[in-house]
Chains A and B, each alone.
Chain A
Amino acid sequence: MHFLFGTRDELFITIAKIVILLFIVLTVNAYLTWFERKVVAHIQSRWGPHRVGPHGLLQPLADGVKFFFKEDPTPAGVDKFVYFLAPLLALALALTSIAIIPFGPEPVRLFGHDIYLGIAPPNLNIGILALFAITALGVYGVVLAGWASNSKYPLLGGLRSSAQMISYELALTLSVVGVLLMAGTFNLRDIINAQAPLAGHPDHGIIGWNIWPQILGFFCFFTAAVAETNRVPFDLPEAEQELVAGFHTEYASFKFAMFFIAEYTSMITVSCLATIMFFGGWLSPFPASWTLTHYLPSVILIPFGLWVIMDGFRYETVLGRLVLPAAGTVVTALGLAFIVFPHVNAFIQAPFWFLSKVLLFLFVYVWMRGTLPRFRYDQLMAFGWKLLLPVALANVALTSFVILAKMQWGAK
């Protein structure tokens, strides 16, 4: 079994990684809901959650507890097996897909093992295909939930969503073909490395990213990805005016939470994928010779930490006056630590840029939700088939032509 699991140590390391990543992803999920509610609230000139904990920071915890203790009725006439399978499938597939994402280039050396950031082995040659395979199966969670609920609204929601996902999956897959042609590999690490500065031109930084030659591809990718994750403006499967809550109308309590977590996890996966495919993954946007930019994490963390401390002292509740300065101190100390220990600073550069870019994409998701109205169903289908698909195809043809032309007449 060595080719599957490796030695026993490696097996333990992988299990530890899974547990840690699961914890991180679920926590990020929880705070993504807080982030979303806060940002949308501020877009709409409201405060958002601010009662539970300082700045509403304990709201996700309260929501989680609520999900656990709510009554969990099973409607009459449901297909029991499929009804219980659907949320499990949605959640399991969403969480599995994040295992394929690599988060940093350099392995950490711990206990005599090279530990890479990310669960999948660094030489996973079908990286992007494996991800698409898992997303392709993700449709079933939604479709089966709609069907098994034995109710009209979920059935319509499930049908809509399967039609939408089939339509946009084509554009999604085609839009990354340009990137794959340029990189010549399916391996996510190699795709990032293909955007890294070449030996001859060490100073191109952001210019080398795929977003410039593949701007069409990125447009198609991000639009299709938003549609795949059923988010605004493509959230027709759960259009509440027409379908109540769409496919999860008949799900309550933790089964509903599972769909919810699955949706937010796929948002994170898609953001990671956009970062990897088009925005250079963990590469810094600055030229390699600008070594001063290595202090950017500290430059961001220290003022932010100090601001949290200041804000904490002025906070209304006693809990806030205690917790916020403490959190601010931790953040400031972290920022200072990065300056004091250059090795640590060098190591966190890659994850820092990766996570910053992912955060940016997540913000764009929330921003769109706060800004855009929902598509009508015929508009959605016309947009997918008549605009996105042809543009993605044209992008493939254009990219192959340019690559071929370079091979034929290009510089060497």
Chain B
Amino acid sequence: MTEALLVFFVLAALAVIGAVSLILQKHPIHSALSLIVVMVALAGLYLLMGAEFVAAVQIIVYGGAIMVLFVFVIMLLNAGAEERTSLSKMAGPPGLLLVAALAAFVAATIARSGASVQAAAQTGALSSTKGISEMIFKDFVYPFELTSILILVAILGAMVLAQREKS
């Protein structure tokens, strides 16, 4: 189990470094690449938990489709490197406060649901494709379909905006 822990820490470090680099990089493409590193590291973490399907879908959907779209848009807009402006003095302290609050919230959630998350990984309900599809299409079918409608609305919105600009 210690070796699994080692792999976990390597992947976790990769994810964190990618996330920090995402913020610190000046060029949008470099930021996008950092985000891809985060996505792939997360997929590795899922794989480590035995959630093979989720890991593969994570790479296909986030690492592949969505991030390619990001990169594509950045290239199409030919966005250059960011220029550092004099930072807003107001943004500092409230930002730090928000970060602390968010971190505390996430930590509290993890601490409280630790046992059930562990149990989910061990029962293997999320590892098999069958388990996941039964959850999505039986137990949570209404939230799932509602999410689909939400995405459809977003697509229609994008279409409407694009059309208006043309005419």
Residues of A within 8 A of B (CB): 1, 3-4, 79, 81-82, 85, 125-126, 129-130, 132-134, 136-137, 139-140, 143-144, 146-147, 155, 158-159, 162-163, 165-166, 169, 173, 186
The answer to whether B59 has its CB under 8 Å from any CB of chain A is yes
A137 to chain B, nearest CB (A): 6
One of A130, A155, A165 near B68 (C-beta < 8 A): A165
Name the B residues within 8 Å of A137 (CB-CB): 36, 40, 59, 63-64
Beyond A4-B3, A82-B33, A136-B65, is A159–B52 a contact (Cβ under 8 Å)?
no
Question: Once the chains are docked, how many angstroms separate the CA of A79 from the CA of B53?
Answer: 35
> What 4 A-B pairs are tightest by C-beta distance, nearest first?
A136-B64, A1-B3, A129-B56, A133-B59
Beyond A79-B29, A82-B29, is A133–B75 a contact (Cβ under 8 Å)?
no
| Closest A residue by C-beta to B55 | A126
A142 to chain B, nearest CB (A): 10
Question: Once the chains are docked, how many angstroms separate the CA of A85 from the CA of B37?
Answer: 13
- Contact present for B56 and A162 (CB under 8 Å): no
Question: Once the chains are docked, how many angstroms separate the CA of A130 from the CA of B44?
Answer: 12
B125 to chain A, nearest CB (A): 15
Question: Once the chains are docked, how many angstroms separate the CA of A126 from the CA of B59?
Answer: 12
Name the B residues within 8 Å of A4 (CB-CB): 3-4, 7
The answer to whether B144 has its CB under 8 Å from any CB of chain A is no
- Contacts A163-B72, A165-B68 known; 15 new A-B pairs at CB < 8 A: A3-B4, A79-B29, A130-B56, A133-B60, A136-B65, A137-B40, A137-B63, A139-B64, A139-B68, A143-B68, A143-B71, A143-B75, A155-B75, A162-B71, A166-B69
B8 to chain A, nearest CB (A): 11
Residues of B within 8 A of A (CB): 3-4, 7, 27, 29-30, 33, 36, 40, 43, 52-53, 55-57, 59-60, 63-65, 68-69, 71-72, 75-76, 128-129
- Contact present for B68 and A166 (CB under 8 Å): yes
A134 to chain B, nearest CB (A): 8
- Contact present for A162 and B68 (CB under 8 Å): yes
- Contact present for A136 and B7 (CB under 8 Å): no
Name the B residues within 8 Å of A146 (CB-CB): 75
Question: Once the chains are docked, how many angstroms separate the CA of A294 from the CA of B75?
Answer: 55
- Contact present for B72 and A166 (CB under 8 Å): yes
Tell me what chain B mostly uses at the interface: helix, strand, loop, or mixed: helix
| Closest B residue by C-beta to A158 | B75
Name the A residues within 8 Å of B4 (CB-CB): 1, 3-4
B83 to chain A, nearest CB (A): 17
Question: Once the chains are docked, how many angstroms separate the CA of A165 from the CA of B52?
Answer: 25
Most chain A CB within a 10 A radius of its CB, from B4, B63, B75, B76: B75
Name the A residues within 8 Å of B65 (CB-CB): 136, 166, 169
One of A132, A147, A158, A186 near B129 (C-beta < 8 A): A186
Question: Once the chains are docked, how many angstroms separate the CA of A139 from the CA of B59?
Answer: 13
- Contact present for A159 and B33 (CB under 8 Å): no
- Contact present for A126 and B71 (CB under 8 Å): no
| Closest A residue by C-beta to B1 | A1
Question: Once the chains are docked, how many angstroms separate the CA of A13 from the CA of B43?
Answer: 26
Question: Once the chains are docked, how many angstroms separate the CA of A85 from the CA of B34?
Answer: 13
Question: Once the chains are docked, how many angstroms separate the CA of A165 from the CA of B68?
Answer: 10
- Contact present for B60 and A136 (CB under 8 Å): yes
Name the B residues within 8 Å of A132 (CB-CB): 56, 60
Name the B residues within 8 Å of A82 (CB-CB): 29-30, 33
Question: Once the chains are docked, how many angstroms separate the CA of A274 from the CA of B135?
Answer: 32
- Please name 13 pairs of A and B residues whose Cβ atoms are closer than 8 Å in the assembled complex, sorted by A: A1-B7, A3-B4, A4-B3, A79-B27, A132-B60, A133-B60, A136-B64, A136-B65, A139-B64, A139-B68, A143-B72, A155-B75, A186-B129
Name the B residues within 8 Å of A165 (CB-CB): 68
Name the A residues within 8 Å of B129 (CB-CB): 125, 186
Name the B residues within 8 Å of A166 (CB-CB): 65, 68-69, 72
